[in-house]
Structure formats: C-alpha cells, structure tokens
Amino acid sequence: MWKVDLSDIIELQANIDRLEEKKKLLDAKRPLAQVALERLREAINVEWTYNSNSIEGNTLTLNETRIVLEDGMTVKGKSMREHFEVTNHHDAIAHLEKLVISDSPILEQEVLHLHSLVMLRIEKDFAGRLRNAGVRIVGANFTPPNALKVPDLLSELIDFVNANEMGLSPIVLASVFHHRFVWIHPFFDGNGRTVRLVMNLLLMRKGYPPAIILKNDRKKYYDALNRANGGSYAKLVLLMVQAMERSLDIYLSLYPEMEEYRPISNIVAESPKRYGQEYVSLLARQGKIDAYKEGRNWFTTEAAIREYVVNRKRKRK
C-alpha cells in the first residue's frame, strides 16, 4: 500500500474541523423539507454538470445547460458533443445518487460504469474501458504512467481509499483520491468529469453534499493538481474544503435561523472603518475565515470576520 506525505496540510486542520462541525449541524437539522430539498438538489446537479463540463472546455452557459436538461432543447451554434456532455453527465449523477445509499466500499466496476455514462454517445468504443496506450496532457507537469500499469495502479488506489489506513478525514481522503486518479489518468478521455463524480461518491456516502469545483477556479484547480504532483497537497485540499464549505452553507441556508452569508463588498461597505475589502477577500481566499465563492465573488458573515479578528488578538497577547 503506497503512502502519501500530507505534512503541508497541517495548517488547514482548522478549516477541516469547521467543515465537520457544519456537517454535524446539518445532520442535527435533518430531515429537510422534501420540496425545498428536491429543488436544491436539482439546482445543484445542474450547477455540478455545468461547472464540471466547463472545466473541460464545454462552452454551454449555465442557463443553456439548464435549458438542455429541463426543456430538452438544443442550443443554436453548439455542437452535439457539447449537448451529449450535458445529458451524459446529468445521467451519471442520477446513477451516482443510487450508489450513494450503499455504505459498501467503492468498487472498480462503479468507477468504470460512471465513466461509461460520461462518455456515452461521445466515445462509445472507449466508454467504461481503461486506456490501452500512452497519453500526454497539455499543460501538465507530468506524464501519465504506462498503460500496462494502469489496471494495477487503479486497483491500488481503490484499495487505499477503502482501507484508509492513515485515518484521513473524508475531505482529505477525497482530495488524495482526486489527485492520484488524475495522475493515473486511467481513460483516454473523460478523466476529469469521472474523478469529480467518484470523489463526490466518496463524500456523499459519508453524508456530505457534493463539492462542486467552479469553472472560475479552473486555473487554480489545475495549479493545485500540478503542485500535488510535486508532493504538496495544501492547495488542492484548500480548494476542496472551499468547494465543500460552499455546498454545506447552501444547504444550511434552507434554515431561516442561520446567519445569512453576504458578499464581502456589502459587509465592508457597511463597516468601512473596521474592515478593508482587499484584506477580508484575502482571508477568504486563504481559507482563514468562514467564506465561500459564487462566480467571482466571495460571501461570508460579519460574525466570521469578528471571530477571526478576536482570535488573532488573543494570539498576540
């Protein structure tokens, strides 16, 4: 069983602890109202499909993605492949949701089947099949392993996740899986969409909502994966934590007693003498305050900023 050095993520433990506390809070509030939960699930699944496809170059907008899925319409000027990428991914999520109810270890056949759904009607000859030749990835700082090694490497990774001998938290384990899967690059195409599905299968089986890596974070995402190739996981884990925090906050927002998250610019405008927008935005990007991203804007609460300021003052004493 291979090992991984995670010494550089120690500074993120407070962020990970905060996620786990939010999950406990969400668990304590369940069951959610079924109507509200179903609407939120549908909205998140559309976002998930849009962002995951956009990271890979699909040019359909969020609204166009919704039209394709909800109205069954085609969008003028967009290729049939892009339409199939949308419907395929949405079908893969529907299948994944059936897999979530099982608490069994992740199986290689589940990974292969999710890939087959992602690639259906696009590259059907290779859908659900491991690559049998070499590949090169433009812009990456590594070359994927020889195709002959792929079956054993994938099995080894799945065994690593199922055993979890290092006792990693769900978010860290999913991050390590995410990187290693991308490094193995088991398929000719569809690796990114598949790994983001399987990563969420791991998390959702532990009771978490899906973590959605945003299209606007594409450059940061690829940089984090490249850093992980060099042995540094901090950037990737932070990105995963922020993606999960956004999802948890969205689910918790269904409850009226929860404090509302607002754009940092709005909070700063109300208290210009207390907070600077650049400073608070930097704290959000670095994961030092409870915050999440929507598009290019960061959202937080005034309580989260106050808590950080108070804790910093305590440390100085």
Report pLDDT digits (tens) over 195-244: 999 999 999 999 999 999 999 999 999 999 999 999 999 999 999 999 99
* pLDDT of amino acid 244: 97
More confident call, 33 vs 239: 239
Report pLDDT digits (tens) over 244-282: 999 999 999 888 777 788 888 888 888 766 778 888 899
Give the chain's domains with CATH numbers.
7-252 (1.10.3290.10), 262-316 (no CATH)
Is residue 142 within 8 Å of residue 230, measured between CB atoms?
A: no
Mean pLDDT of the chain: 91
Q: Per-residue pLDDT for 2 more than 70?
A: no
* pLDDT of amino acid 279: 86
> Token match 């079924």: residue?
34
First to last CA, the chain: 45
The rounded distance, in Å, linking the Cα atoms of 114 and 220 is: 26
Mean pLDDT along residues 286-307 = 87
Q: Tell me which residues are annotated as active site.
A: 185
Mean pLDDT along residues 123-135 = 92
Report pLDDT digits (tens) over 72-116: 999 999 999 999 999 999 999 999 999 998 778 899 999 999 999
* pLDDT of amino acid 317: 60
* pLDDT of amino acid 124: 84
Q: How confident is the model at residue 305 (pLDDT cuts 50, 70, 90)?
A: confident
- The DSSP output letter for 52 is H
Q: Is the dihedral angle over the CA atoms 126, 127, 131, 132 positive or is it negative?
A: negative
* pLDDT of amino acid 226: 93
The rounded distance, in Å, linking the Cα atoms of 309 and 317 is: 13
Sequence-ordered alpha helix ranges (H) in 120-259: 150-163, 170-184, 191-204, 218-229, 234-252
Rg (CA), the chain: 20
Q: How confident is the model at residue 306 (pLDDT cuts 50, 70, 90)?
A: confident
Q: How confident is the model at residue 161 (pLDDT cuts 50, 70, 90)?
A: very high
